Amino acid sequence: MRDWEKLRAHHQQQVAQTYGIKTTTFAAQTGEIYMLPVFDGEPRLSGNWIVCGDVHLPTTDFDLAERMLEAAKCLNIRNLLIVGDLVNMEAFSQFEHIVPPPPFEVECKVAARFVSRLSEHFETMMLVLGNHEHRLLKRNNGNINATMLGHILSAASGKLQVSAYAYAIIDSYGTIWRATHQRNYSRITGRLGDQLAQKFQCNIITFHQHHVAQLMDTWGRYVVIDGGGLFDDSKMAYVKLIDSNMPAMARGFVILAYGTAYLMTPYPALTDWEVILAGLQKKSEKFDLSLVV
């Protein structure tokens, strides 16, 4: 607000000079230049990535997280993108609680340990923000920024980069993917991703909705993935203690390798881990050989 007032005063001074009017207010005489941010620095990544989101620490499916880590090791993928809702941040929720939430300190300790475990393998780890991280930023009126959040969450390893953005763009061997924790929700699987594909004209991996799906967009141009999450809804009081007509939550993450995205879920009828990992291993061996030649 203060910046705005100063900016307005500066503008008034400019206008006054243009019209030959002398202003006498103190603010108008400061003559300072104020820098406003321009939001055009979204993360732009390249190569092979493990893309996950909706971890919702500490209400997390740690078995699925371990399987994700094993898959990354098996394929030697060293980049991890976490697309929002890494930590629940219950202390900053605007919702009332029906069971006491863990203190923020406990959530931070779990997060530091989780990040540390992942950093044993991943060389690059990036978090883009979800609505649960925004709880902390909003409650503090923006006085805690993404960098400060990074310090809070990555105490154990210092490897996690935190972006102020809620999405990242990945150029994976010439194929463009936008991995996003958009603010909207649709109870219809695939619908939001379809709209985002049309808006941004690229392939989409969407989180936040806790659905899993892989489909082509309405116009058959782009691939849309609902990436699920690493949450464990059986630990979520608001999901399990009360019935609702909300869709059941579905878990998963995405392996983005050589331009193609593979939706990985714990559901055997949907994902055959052995076949996917064996096939990708073969592909990476071939790719490595082609680099040698």
Residue number, 77 or 192, with CB nearest to Fe ion? 192
How far does Cα 162 stand from its chain's mean position?
Answer: 9
Under rule CB under 5 A, residue 251 binds Fe ion: no
Q: Of the ranges 66-74, 130-138, 139-147, 258-266, which one interacts with Fe ion (CB under 5 A)?
A: 130-138
Minimum distance from residue 200 beta carbon to Fe ion (Å): 19
Place of tokens 């990555």: 154
CB 232 within 8 A of CB 59: yes
Residue 77 vs 130, nearer CB to Fe ion: 130
Min separation Cβ 127 and Fe ion, Å: 13
**The tokens of 184 are what?**
């909207």
Tell me how long the chain is.
Answer: 293
Q: Count the helix, strand and coil residues of the chain and give each as a percent rounded to the nearest 5.
A: 40, 20, 40
Q: In angstroms, rounded to a whole number, what is the distance separating the alpha carbons of residues 265 and 255?
A: 11
Q: Which range touches Fe ion (CB under 5 A), out of 49-57, 88-96, 234-242, 285-293?
A: 49-57
Is 85 near Fe ion (CB under 5 A)?
A: yes
Measured CA to CA, the distance from residue 193 to residue 263 in angstroms comes to 14
Q: Which of 191, 181, 166, 183 is nearest to 247 (CA)?
A: 191
Task: Measure the CA–CA gap between 30 and 49, rounded to whole angstroms.
Answer: 49
Find the binder of Fe ion among 159, 208, 211, 251 (CB under 5 A).
208
130 binds Fe ion (CB under 5 A): yes
54 binds Fe ion (CB under 5 A): yes
User: Which letter does DSSP use for residue 231 in this model?
Assistant: B
Examine residue 131 and tell whether it contacts Fe ion (CB under 5 A): yes
Residue with Cβ nearer Fe ion (49 or 231) = 231
The nearer residue to Fe ion, 132 or 159, going by C-beta atoms, is 132
Query: Interface with Fe ion by CB under 5 A: which range of 42-50, 89-97, 124-132, 198-206?
Result: 124-132
Residues that bind Fe ion (CB under 5 A): 54, 85, 130-131, 208
